[in-house]
Amino acid sequence: MIYIKKWTDYYEDFFPIEPNQYEFFSAMGDEFTAPAKFLSVECGPALLSEKLQEKHDVTLTDSFAEFVQIANTRQANKENPAHVFNLNPADIARYLGKNFFNVIVCLCYRIIFMKDRTLIKKFLFDSKMLLSDGGYLVLDILNFSKYDFSETKIDLPPKKAERATLYSSVIKNSDSVQYKLFQHVVTASGKVIDEVKDELICPISMETIRSYAKEVKYSSCEFFSDYNRTPYSPDSDKIICVLKK
């Protein structure tokens, strides 16, 4: 994965810790024997994980080398540093311990970069192998069901921050029914960083996640509109998917 190299510095502006997000995961971790074991897959700069590791055991993985470097730099002076690995999501079951983690997360809609449904289903299966009994897999995805995918181009809501704005669109290749992401950043000074072009993605829906969770045999799945556990509605911009082993 080679996207967003030119605007890594802005990533935290576009994907900050969300309201109630820390409380949501901290309470989830408190359900298990302390310290609960968290695994953040495609962790990015790992802002949330830095807070969680104050009371929980945290492992971080990312396929993007720049994010791994950022995470390692931030962990260097921690008293109880997180375990950081440069791993593709497809390899987590190969290198990480089975039945070990209490909570596995993949946030900031990074799951769509797993590129196809087979790999996403594999990720759900592998995550279940790594989870302890009663453990949780939490996915943070865009609500693609609210968009008309009969259209060739879909504009996603921009992410606005003080220093810059992220614009995203999905283009459908009608011949092969593939979807590609295009993104660019406009800084507060007006500079345009045109970074992401033709990045193959898989715009997964809540209904598909539910179907895969049932097929992989998770014991339950819940869907929320935010980290305050507001019930999902069709108008929600995003979906918090909570799958329990």
183 shares a domain with 216 = no
Q: Give 45-57 pLDDT, tens digit per residue.
A: 999 999 999 999 9
pLDDT band at 152 (very low <50, low <70, confident <90, very high): confident
Distance, in Å, from the CA atom of 35 to the CA atom of 92, rounded to the nearest integer, reads 21
In a domain, 99, yes or no: yes
Average pLDDT over residues 183-200: 86
Inside any domain, residue 207: yes
Distance CA 121, CA 216 (A): 8
Range of the domain at 170: 145-201
pLDDT value of residue 76: 87
What's the number of domains the chain is made of? 2
pLDDT at position 176: 66
202-236 pLDDT per residue, tens: 999 999 999 999 999 999 999 999 999 999 999 99
The reply to whether 3 falls in a domain is no
- For residues 116 and 15, membership in a common domain is answered with yes
Residue 121 near residue 225, CB atoms below 8 Å: no
pLDDT digits (tens, 9 = 90+) for 157-166: 999 999 999 9
User: What gap in Å lies between CA 125 and CA 109, rounded to an integer?
Assistant: 18
The verdict on 133 and 60 lying in the same domain is yes
pLDDT digits (tens, 9 = 90+) for 67-106: 999 999 989 888 888 999 999 999 999 999 999 999 999 9
Q: In terms of domains, do 33 and 88 share one?
A: yes
pLDDT for the residue 13: 92
pLDDT of residue 2: 40
Cα gap 141→54, rounded to integer Å: 26
The answer to whether the peptide bond before residue 35 is cis (omega within 30 degrees of 0) is yes
Query: For the segment 7-32, what is each residue's pLDDT rounded down to a tens digit?
Result: 788 889 999 999 999 999 999 999 99
Q: What is the pLDDT of residue 79?
A: 82
Q: How confident is the model at residue 131 (pLDDT cuts 50, 70, 90)?
A: very high
- pLDDT confidence of 115, banded at 50, 70, 90? confident
Tokens 């969680």 correspond to 52
The mean per-residue pLDDT over the stretch 168-197 comes to 86
Instruction: Give CA torsion, residues 159, 10, 84, 138, to 10 deg.
Output: -10
In a domain, 19, yes or no: yes
Check: CB of residue 237 under 8 Å from CB of residue 158.
no
More confident residue, 200 or 131: 131
pLDDT exceeds 50 at position 1: no
Strand partners, 12: none
Q: Are residues 137 and 155 in the same domain?
A: no
